[in-house]
């Protein structure tokens, strides 16, 4: 399949990683379907992506809205090649202080939105015998080193496991359907400002990676089909180092 002809759906596309990815893919000749709740911001991104971009104002945490997104994209383009689950929300609360509502919200936004996307696009991908789901995770989904983001970290760990299990299940009968995890570090966007219970602004954190660099990694994943990708140099070594230090076999 020619990369430039691909139809790509991106949730959470009104800013940050989603917007940067949409603009990069559009510049590479792909048609992008942009999904978010914020209409003015979404339409501004779509305008920068050109005439083949489609903006759909929708809430991807609702299964019926995900179905509507798919129907609208298919009505416009006839098929979908890549589905990028990029919706996410942070939280600032220590683990000992978490309440039910905190956990429910992290699961609703960070896990259920991706689950609905994966489940609802699968019939179309199965019919075509091919397709690619890319779930945007986080380095916190690999290493729990931000204690105040405990519930977000747990949700991203859940997302990673769910993605891997989808891959194992579907690839048995449909090897042309791929599932990828992309794990960026902190990115200087409005993510921190919109976190539940406030917290540090992501744009003020050290060692961040620009959204444009993450977008380039996502484009590479579309091209290669790589199943599990860290977007920043040295990330894999940090994960290995963490578990080498904190893990170990129990003696009988």
CA 79 – CA 33 distance, rounded (Å): 11
The catalytic residue positions are 152
The Cα angle at residue 20 between residues 90 and 49, in degrees rounded to 5: 135
Among positive and negative, which fits the CA dihedral 70, 76, 82, 84? negative
**Please, what is the angle between helix 16-27 and helix 39-49, to 10°?**
20
Q: Give me the sheet containing 228-230, strands edge to edge.
A: 54-57, 31-36, 7-11, 82-85, 131-136, 177-183, 228-230
């Amino acid at each position: 399949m020619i990369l430039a002809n691909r139809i790509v759906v991106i949730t959470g596309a009104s800013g940050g990683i989603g917007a940067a990815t949409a603009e990069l893919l559009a510049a590479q000749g792909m048609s992008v379907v942009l999904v978010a709740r914020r209409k003015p911001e979404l339409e501004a991104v779509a305008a920068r992506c050109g005439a083949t971009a489609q903006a759909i104002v929708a809430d991807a945490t609702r299964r019926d809205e995900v179905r509507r997104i798919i129907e609208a994209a298919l009505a416009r383009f006839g098929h979908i090649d890549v589905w990028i689950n990029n919706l996410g929300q942070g939280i600032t609360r220590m683990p000992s202080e978490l309440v039910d509502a905190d956990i429910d919200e992290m699961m609703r936004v960070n896990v259920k939105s991706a689950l609905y996307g994966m489940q609802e696009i699968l019939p179309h991908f199965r019919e075509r015998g091919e397709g690619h789901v890319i779930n945007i995770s986080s380095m916190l989904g690999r290493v729990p080193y931000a204690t105040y983001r405990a519930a977000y970290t747990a949700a991203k760990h859940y997302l990673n496991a769910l993605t891997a299990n989808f891959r194992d299940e579907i690839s048995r009968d449909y090897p042309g359907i791929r599932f990828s995890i992309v794990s960026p570090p902190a990115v200087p966007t409005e993510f921190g400002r919109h976190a539940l219970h406030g917290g540090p602004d992501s744009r003020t954190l050290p060692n961040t990676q620009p959204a444009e660099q993450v977008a380039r990694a996502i484009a590479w994943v579309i091209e290669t089909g790589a199943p599990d990708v860290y977007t920043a140099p040295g990330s894999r070594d940090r994960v290995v180092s963490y578990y080498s230090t904190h893990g170990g076999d129990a003696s009988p």
